[in-house]
Amino acid sequence: MLMPSKPEYFPNATPIVVKLGGSLYHHVADLAQVFCQSERPLLIVPGGGRFADEIRALSLPDDDAHWSAIRMMDRFGNYISTFGVPITDQISISGKTEVLLPYRCIRHFDPLPHSWDVTSDTIAAWVAGRLSLDLLVLKSVDGILVNNSLAGIISGRVETEVVDPCFIPYVLKHTIRTTIINGTRTDRVAAFLHGEPVSGTQIGTTF
């Protein structure tokens, strides 16, 4: 299903938070080029991906695992920055595209449960909610399947492994307008950021 990305906002280049999933590690170079060319200021929240998987394999206590995994988000964020995206450790929109290193601010606010049910997905949702911005989630799949078909809009809880278990309840509770699209398709990412309809899944009740 084609998802519009609110083209009416483009005269003001409305900022948006973008969660870049760790599974897109091999697509970062191409995605960074799209990000840097965007007319919209973007705050990129990195996933954990292969770095967080290293922490999972250690079977640490929940608190240690939580903070160690967030440090791995910083590690992925620093990798993204090598492709020309400036870094920040501040939850703010500067008027330009930046990648967030989240450890410092998450450690300060400590806003979420310390559990593997909360991953970089829900952390990105928290960032978007704190800034009162929409959230674009880039995954290596087209969106969320319901009954084996791509769901265009989700307005209630569904079982899925595309995002962490806390993510959908969190964005619904906090009314964070969220869209999930396939980040391996950089043409779709560019089109979305230009306000064109693309295939994906929207989560929320206000679209």
The DSSP code for 166 is T
Q: In the Cβ-directed half-sphere of 9, how many Cα atoms lie within 13 Å?
A: 17
Radius of gyration over every alpha carbon of the chain, rounded to an integer in angstroms? 16
Query: CB under 8 Å to 191, separation ≥6 — which residues?
Result: 197, 198
Position 202: which residue type? Answer: Q
28-37 and 186-193 helices, crossing angle to 10°: 20
Question: Do 89 and 108 meet the contact criterion of CB atoms below 8 Å apart?
Answer: no
The tokens for 196 are: 């064109």
The tokens for 180 are: 């999930």
Q: What are phi and psi of 16, to 5 degrees?
A: -150, 145
CA–CA gap between residue 202 and residue 12 (Å, rounded)? 22
CA–CA gap between residue 80 and residue 13 (Å, rounded)? 23
Nearest to 55 by CA among 43, 47, 64: 64
Place of tokens 């250690």: 58
Length of the chain in residues, anyone?
207
For residue 117, give the H/E element and its range. none
Amino acid 11: pLDDT: 42
Position 205: which residue type? Answer: T
Angle at 158 between CA 154 and CA 159, to 5 degrees: 145
Amino acid 118: pLDDT: 94
Amino acid 8: pLDDT: 43
Report the SS3 class of residue 89.
Answer: coil
Fold category of 2-203 in CATH: Carbamate kinase (3.40.1160)
Render each residue's pLDDT in the chain as its tens digit; 207 residues: 555 444 444 445 899 999 999 999 999 999 999 999 999 999 999 998 777 778 878 888 889 999 999 999 999 999 999 999 999 999 998 889 999 999 999 999 999 999 989 999 999 999 999 999 999 999 999 999 999 999 999 999 999 999 999 999 999 999 999 999 999 999 999 999 999 999 999 998 766
Question: Do 145 and 160 meet the contact criterion of CB atoms below 8 Å apart?
Answer: yes
pTM: 0.91
For residue 180, give the H/E element and its range. strand 178-182
Q: What are phi and psi of 150, to 5 degrees?
A: -65, 125
